Chain A
């Protein structure tokens, strides 16, 4: 079926100034194929089923809309965590600002340094999971990323990595347009934690392809940077082997536009995938979580826990799906998306979906939006807490189920500190 002419025109307009990077070695074929995919599916428009809640316009413009830099005070998130820092300035890896990536149980390499090497584990993997993630819902910005990504890193866990790999994204130019692509391979029984923090750029397109082999474990915690005017579309594609573990948590506070997509597929039995998010928006803030979990193996457990706190015109959207294929018996699927609307100007749009072709499964989903519970607020105030403090405590209580998905206590405590900071900066006294 051909694309509508308007979509073809819009796609070509976006691609007009785009060229594939030179000397991409074994990635060249994957990049060309990805560009062909973009042309085949076309870039999104507001008419597309999965872009009805979120306008893609700012992601389609040939150059990034300006985003003012945001001066933060105090130590950035994860500062006190013992980690291997890989620093990117407006989407360009800065080896001088980064830590030595040599670490027991890990192989870390910049994509540009490995695409010329034959026989590298990453060859053949670049773009593989992205390419497989467009059915039934196309994710053209991910294909665009695979085609044009200018930097990125391949991480291979061969054992239990002691320290997390910490991707630090600095935003230093008001018109930067960063496209980063990451490859993560967790070998059988290996384990790695990947942290991400920072706004990255005025506009950021990120793909992370994660392949977790049998018995492997991948932990992911990110905080998306407080720059108010930044825009981001991020994708995580994961393929999970037998008895593997995947856990991802995202904190998003501020940002005019964020779309976080996750596409997770169980290919081995008895695996676990938890994906959670806490988003805090005040004013010009649009946050979109689009999640697609496919159960194609027996006795796997998936959890989607997304919480949004919105006020003053902020908009939150959630599109989450659990697809259980016919052989995926004993599936345990759970999905919850909730918004706490702190005033009447905030908006939450949700589209929870279940599609089940197996008959012996337990799947549940729920979606709610509501205001602060007046009874709970009164309870706290009757114990002496001032109204604003009581309200903040109830916000933290609301987010608790998502925060609890962070396994590492030190990291969870750090994230809580960030939440608390965001709330206290907005406390009315």
Chain B
């Protein structure tokens, strides 16, 4: 699904290398987690993959189902099936949540050469998806993320994911700012989307999210590289001992 080869990235504005040769392959149907200390480049990786400005790729490649995504605009990547659940979802006053979602879904459909979804079909779709995430009609009507609590914002991200049905989902610290109940709700939403044809890359600081979204592979990222990969037990090791031992071991 997602193939990253020797990806090197620096900040556009300053001479600071953030990613220093990331190699990662995520197969369809799998959940990969990336853990790592602050400043290791986890969020940068998610931004570079989804096309945020401010970064310069100095080497390497990233492909989604064989297509070079680094050359695409963010909206083209979205239409190709990439989705980033933001750590800090953005508030858009004056634009209704539901209107926004329908606009986004139709923009993707048009970009893929598909027909737009009818208003009735969309309503049916969103009601069904919102219900499982316990998102009520009021939240759908309100402006995008405006006045939402931390938990509501994250649930809204998962709702967008559920409606847009991407192939490759990147979750950037989706657990930050969530209480236990909200984390359960969000995780259930993600688990409901796990599918043969879909892959996840879950970026997190804490193992606890991975209790709910059980990964197939766990990677440890440090200083712009993936330094160690393993099964779910690797996350437990981090939780118990921190990163120090692992980093010392691979140094």
A residues whose Cβ falls under 8 Å from a Cβ of B: 373-376, 378-387, 389-390, 393-394, 396-401, 403-404
Contacts and interface: CB of A to CB of B under 8 A. Distances in A.
B99 to A, nearest CB: 9
23 contacts: A373-B90, A374-B53, A376-B90, A378-B74, A379-B86, A381-B51, A381-B73, A382-B51, A382-B74, A383-B164, A384-B104, A384-B111, A385-B104, A386-B111, A387-B73, A389-B103, A389-B107, A393-B103, A396-B95, A397-B92, A397-B143, A400-B94, A400-B143
Contacts of B90: 373, 375-376, 379
Given A382-B84, A383-B104, A389-B107, A376 B73 contact: no
The 8 closest A-B pairs by CB, nearest first: A400-B94, A384-B108, A384-B78, A381-B74, A383-B104, A379-B90, A384-B107, A397-B94
A380 B92 contact: yes
Contacts of A390: 75
Given A382-B75, A385-B103, A398-B94, 13 more contacts: A375-B90, A378-B51, A379-B86, A379-B92, A382-B52, A382-B74, A382-B77, A382-B84, A383-B164, A384-B164, A385-B104, A387-B75, A397-B94
A378 B84 CA distance: 11
Contacts of A403: 94
Contact of A397 (B73, B83, B93): B93
B79 interface: yes
B93 A378 contact: no
A396 B94 contact: yes
Contacts of A398: 94
Nearest to B75: A381
Nearest to A416: B94
Interface in B67-119: 73-75, 77-79, 83-84, 86, 89-90, 92-95, 100, 103-105, 107-108, 111
At the interface, is chain A mostly helix, strand, loop or mixed? helix
A414 to B, nearest CB: 16
Contacts of B52: 378, 382
A394 B92 CA distance: 7
A378 B87 CA distance: 13
B95 A397 contact: yes
A322 B211 CA distance: 57
A379 B84 CA distance: 9
Given A381-B51, A382-B78, A383-B104, A400 B84 contact: no
B160 interface: yes
B8 interface: no
B75 to A, nearest CB: 5
Contacts of B107: 383-386, 389
Contacts of A400: 93-95, 143
A231 to B, nearest CB: 31
B95 A393 contact: yes
B53 A378 contact: yes
A378 B54 CA distance: 11
A389 B106 CA distance: 12
Interface centre among B50, B79, B89, B95 (most CB of A within 10 A): B95
A378 B51 CA distance: 8
B94 A399 contact: yes
Contacts of B77: 382
A401 B93 contact: yes
Contacts of A397: 92-95, 143
Contacts of B160: 383
A80 B143 CA distance: 26
Contacts of B108: 384
Given A378-B74, A397-B94, A384 B53 contact: no
Interface in B126-176: 143, 160, 164
Contacts of B79: 384
A376 B53 CA distance: 12
A32 B152 CA distance: 64
Contact of B105 (A378, A380, A384): A384
A401 B100 CA distance: 18
A332 B207 CA distance: 50
Given A382-B50, A383-B160, A376 B104 contact: no
Contacts of A383: 78, 100, 104, 107, 160, 164
Contacts of A381: 51, 73-75, 78
A396 B94 CA distance: 7
A389 B78 CA distance: 15
A390 B52 CA distance: 14
A381 B86 CA distance: 13
A387 B160 CA distance: 19
A138 B230 CA distance: 77
A337 B92 CA distance: 19
Nearest to B107: A384
Contacts of B78: 381-384
A422 to B, nearest CB: 16
Interface string B34-66: 000000000000000011110000000000000
B143 to A, nearest CB: 7
A97 to B, nearest CB: 36
